[in-house]
Structure formats: C-alpha cells, structure tokens
Amino acid sequence: MVVGWKEGVKLFGIAIVCACAVLVCTFFLNYYMDALAMRSAVTGEAVALFEAQLLMAKLVSLISGGCLSLISAVLVAFYVKLYIDAHASQLGVLKALGFSNRRIALGFWVFGLSVFLGCAVGFGGGFALMPLIYTKMSENMFALDIHFHAELLFGLVFAPAVVFAALAILCAYLKLRVPALQLLRGEEKNTKTAEGKETKPRSFLTEMRRATLKSKKSLVFFIAFAAFCYGSMLQMAFYMGDYSSVTMGIIIFLIGAVLAVTCFLLAVTVLARANRKSVALMRAYGFDFWECGRAVFGGYRIPALIGFGIGTAYEYALMKLMIGLIFADVIYDMPALTFRVGTFFAVLSSFLVLYEAVMLFFTWKLGKTSVRAFVLE
C-alpha cells in the first residue's frame, strides 16, 4: 500500500487534539484513582469537599475527553478523505491491478501513529503537571501522593491508538468502495442534481463563495469548532481565578488557544490549497487581491461567529453546572457566577483580530499564485 508511516506521523492536527484530551484526563483521572484510595482517611467537614473534588474530576474527564475524542475521530475521517482524494489515481491503479478494498484499506493503520504520539505526549505532560494539580486540589484536606496506574497508560495511550487505527481502516474501506475508473479520473460521486430548480441570478463572486462552502462542508465544522474552543475555554480561563486557581486558568487558557489555533490553521490551510488554481485563474482574469480573498474565505465568518457564540453559551452553562451541582453546598463563600460582559468582548475582539489576520495572510499567499503553475496539469 502507498500509505507510508511518515503520512501517519505528519498528522499534527490529530496529535495535538489527542495530546490536549489526554493531558487533562491524565491528571484528573490519576487524581481520582489516588484520592479514591484515601476515602476512608477523610473525616469531618472535609468529606463534602472531597466528594465534590472526585465528582469534578470525573465530570471534567468525561466532558473534555469525550468531546475531544469525538473531534479526533472526525479529524481521522477527514484526513483519510484528503489522502484518498489526493492519491486517487494511484489508488485507482492498485484497484485496477487486482488489489481489494480491504487490502488497500489495511494500509491506513499508520494514521493511528499520530494518535499514539499525541496521546503519549499528553500522558507525559499530564504527569509533569500532576504535582501542581495535586497540590491545588488537595488543599485543606490532606497531602496526596502520586502513584502510577498502568491501566491509565493502556487506556489513554495504547487503546486510543488501536481504536483510531481501526477507524482509519474503516473510513478508507468505505471511501474506496467506488469503481477503479472513478478513482483514476479523480471524480467525486454526486447523487444530487439541480434539475427543476430555479435559482436567482447571482454575481460570480457570490456563486464562488457559496460553491466553496458547499464543496468544503467539513471545513465549516472545523472553523466553527476552532471558534467554539477559543470562545469557551479562553473565557472559562478568566473565571478560574475566582472559582478554582490561577494555575488551572493558565492551563485551560493554553489548551484552548492551542486547540483553536490548530483546528483553525488546519482548516484554512486545506481551504487555501484546494482553491489555488481557482484564485490563479481569477487573478489572470483581472480580479483583485481582496475579491479573491472574499470569494474563498468570506463565507466562513458567519460559521466562526456562530461557533464562538455557542462556545460562550456552553462555557457559561458548564460553569453554572459545576458550581451549582458540585460546589454550591460545599464552599459557602464562593462568589455567584455572573456573565462578564467585559471578558466576553475582550475575548471576542482577540478572536476577530486572530481570524482576520490569518485570513489576510492566506489571502496574500493565494494572491501570489501564478496561473503558470497549473498550465501543465
């Protein structure tokens, strides 16, 4: 099979998402398992706080680990599709030579390497931060020693790599169930037709913007998710000083920023690469720098703002849940949660600056593409 191990290692997006998920789950689940063994040693007023800490560790691990695992699965399917689309002719030749779909798909196991590397880095990072987390979470209760749990190493590093390798094989198998000739021609299967539908006349730039959105629907999700991470986790980080600790706020801030920037750059890079030829032709026909940028990237502002809004609502609801369900009856002097308008607009402003700066850079980069590069294709 033409999929080499280097292809699996190069999937930085999956590795970073997995690293963030495992980082959080490692120190929270390890704390949960170590603290659970000390349950009998906790007495008096510390019992309620102890139980609240255990519940928080489970809840955060479930929410963050589950959400980021789902995103990683979507990324694996996305990368498999990108690889097959980019190497359709080679895969078509293999099928024409008699290679079965199953035999070709088995070569995609290497996509699990990025998951393994990301999980390993996240697991190591979680252990590096563990002394600090244990100190913050065990204040006013007892000193808790750190123990290594082999089952966590298996469950957070090795098992995800096997599961995601199997997922990549399955996605490749389903994607390859097309005739060899269709792969050789590089054709997309299209089951929808526009017959019988009347459409209003639109300008060329409007039509191209709509076509770009329709042809790259998965990128809408990634850009919206990037905005979701940025809006939810960065705002949550500013609340942590009052409701947890400054240290936890810094960790959440860094994880949110890394996740958001990674997913955003991944989506925009793929989008720019897919539209190089179109922009080169537009430039050759006299469209200016800004018109090309609006045609390719302009349609993604609304999904990004929607993602940011959903992230804000999610962050506020999650904080309400954690304070009301976990700590309301334990820490009586905890301040009431109020929506911070200033924090919202500060984070929104920084996101808009980041979004427009990235779009401007890729617009400039696309504008430099010459049509000569595609003459011989």
What six digits make up the tokens of 24?
């959080």
* Same domain assignment for residues 255 and 182: no
* Same domain assignment for residues 234 and 182: no
Tell me, what's the pLDDT at 195? 45
Give 192-233 pLDDT, tens digit per residue.
444 444 444 457 677 777 777 777 777 888 888 889 989 988
Tell me, what's the pLDDT at 308? 94
Give 169-183 pLDDT, tens digit per residue.
998 888 888 887 777
- Whole-angstrom CA distances from 106 to 82, 99, 162, 165 are 17, 11, 13, 9
For the chain, the domain total comes to: 2
Is a pLDDT exceeding 90 seen at residue 306? yes
Q: Are 104 and 95 in contact (CB under 8 A)?
A: yes
* Same domain assignment for residues 23 and 110: yes
Q: How many CB atoms lie within 10 A of CB 150?
A: 7
* Same domain assignment for residues 117 and 258: no
3-state SS assignment for residue 43: coil
With 0-12 / 13-18 / 19 or more C-beta atoms within 10 angstroms meaning exposed / middle / buried, residue 372 is exposed
d(CA 257, CA 299): 23
Print the domain residue range for 355: 208-377
* Same domain assignment for residues 236 and 182: no
Q: Are 224 and 306 in contact (CB under 8 A)?
A: yes
Residue 360 lies in a domain: yes
Residue 199 lies in a domain: no
**Mean pLDDT calculated for residue range 142-170:** 88
Q: Which among 158, 187, 216 is the end of a domain?
A: 187
* Same domain assignment for residues 176 and 266: no
Residue 69 lies in a domain: yes
Give 84-118 pLDDT, tens digit per residue.
877 788 888 888 888 888 888 888 888 888 889 98
Give 36-64 pLDDT, tens digit per residue.
887 777 666 667 777 777 777 777 788 77
Q: Are 359 and 293 in contact (CB under 8 A)?
A: yes
Q: Which among 124, 155, 187 is the end of a domain?
A: 187
Closest CA to 258 of 11, 17, 26: 17
With 0-12 / 13-18 / 19 or more C-beta atoms within 10 angstroms meaning exposed / middle / buried, residue 189 is exposed
Which pTM does this prediction carry? Answer: 0.75
Tell me, what's the pLDDT at 371? 60
